[in-house]
A and B are shown apart, each in its own frame.
Chain A
Amino acid sequence: MIDSLTNGVKNQEEYAIAKSITVLEDESNDLSVSLRKEIYKTNSQTYVLGITGSPGAGKSTLISSLVNHLDNQMKIGIISIDPSNKYSGGALLGDRIRMSNLFTKKNIFIRSMSNRGIFGGLNKSIFDVVQLFSFAKYDLVIVETIGVGQNEIDISEIADTVLVISAPESGDSIQIIKAGLMEIADIYVINKADLSGSDKMEFLLKDNIQTNTKNNWTPRIIKIQANSGKNVDGLLELTLEHKDFLTQNNQLFSRRKLLLQKNIRESVIKKVTNNYIDPKIQSKEFKDSIKNVTCGKISFDETVNNLVHEIEKDIKNEN
């Protein structure tokens, strides 16, 4: 089963890629462990482009337009992520509406994903799905995600190049500066240049652009019109410029290692939380003991330390 799946992925067969994404998304699926074992055995050359920004800014429209500017020999994977409903766990995945002209292109694979309850736009399995496309030797992966939340994994941890996109109508440039999206942008895209307010937005953003001290790249700002395609070729040029910059500074490769390190970290946290921390925190004994904190019998820090000790013991006892 797993062999036919991985062989299918290697041959870029779409049913195999589609099925593998389903498996990777579902941690309870037994196949996911063996699939991960295979797909991480590759030195990936896939370039990952992240596109983020508030809903309605024009991310999906831009992807469609950008891809139309690219060579149709290139293998491109598009992952579009929408939030899930907190209560029902369901999701409405509507990004494809703007990409209809890509549906029958042979070189394009589009997958809509829900963040499955994780705030901040991305869920951990995105790491795996990006890795899957690398394993399948796709040339480019584009990840579209909503730009909110901070603590969770964000797009800048996954993408080689991050485009942050906003539109004047939403008046969200201040919001974007506040939310820290400026700091993750390699290229700042002002969309809907046809609408008034885009010049003002450009001034404001120019004032707030800073050279990234980590890698010496100064973020670029560009005004485009995603729906008509105006200046999208200019954006493509800037993107390639950033890619060249990364390559010249050996950062394409170093980011990959960092990514793997982060992915492993996330997985460890998740396991430890599910297997050790949550059962303790959710237990009746612990809930009952919380009142000891409020009535002063035990301090907050003591409570934390006790819990850590107990968890350490649990882990030791298991081995």
Chain B
Amino acid sequence: MSKPIRVLIAKPGLDGHDRGAKIIARGLKDAGMEVIYTGIKQTPEKIARTALQEDIDVLGLSILSGAHNYLFPEIMRLLNENKDKEVLVIAGGIIPLSDYPALKEAGISEIFPPGSSIEEIASFIKNNVHSK
């Protein structure tokens, strides 16, 4: 059996709603992945340290609070300081279309708006995860 894909689902920002994040986490589990879920209000430092220790293949960021334009690039910066590891980063939540280009420029591979299906997200991950 091949090694399961390890995913960290993280919720940066100050909003306290994590229903969506939990649904994604459960869905990816059912798709055969090992999903680490850390709860709400994660700072970029916490996310980057967790990513390092858990040796994740994929980081899924979920945000509703609107601070993505600051938080995501900061998370990417810290993530890139982690040695020796390429992580596929995806995002979801409430993010205006006009912000997409800059976020993709910062290293977010794909953004899934509300209503995206688990199948869609799972297959994107399987097709794009960096094989080591």
Contact = CB atoms under 8 A, between A and B. Distances in A.
B126 to A, nearest CB: 12
A14 B52 contact: yes
A217 to B, nearest CB: 34
Contacts of B82: 15
A89 B25 CA distance: 14
Contacts of B6: 22
A114 B37 CA distance: 13
A88 B32 contact: yes
Interface string B3-44: 110100000000000000000011011111111111101110
Contacts of A111: 53-54
B85 interface: yes
Given A14-B53, A15-B52, A21-B55, A100 B29 contact: no
B37 A89 contact: no
Mostly, the A contact residues are: mixed
B49 A112 contact: no
A90 B84 contact: no
Given A26-B3, A111-B53, A90 B30 contact: yes
Given A88-B32, A90-B4, A104 B49 contact: yes
B29 A103 contact: no
A141 B102 CA distance: 42
B55 A22 contact: yes
A89 B4 contact: yes
B35 A96 contact: no
The 5 closest A-B pairs by CB, nearest first: A90-B29, A97-B39, A18-B55, A103-B46, A88-B32
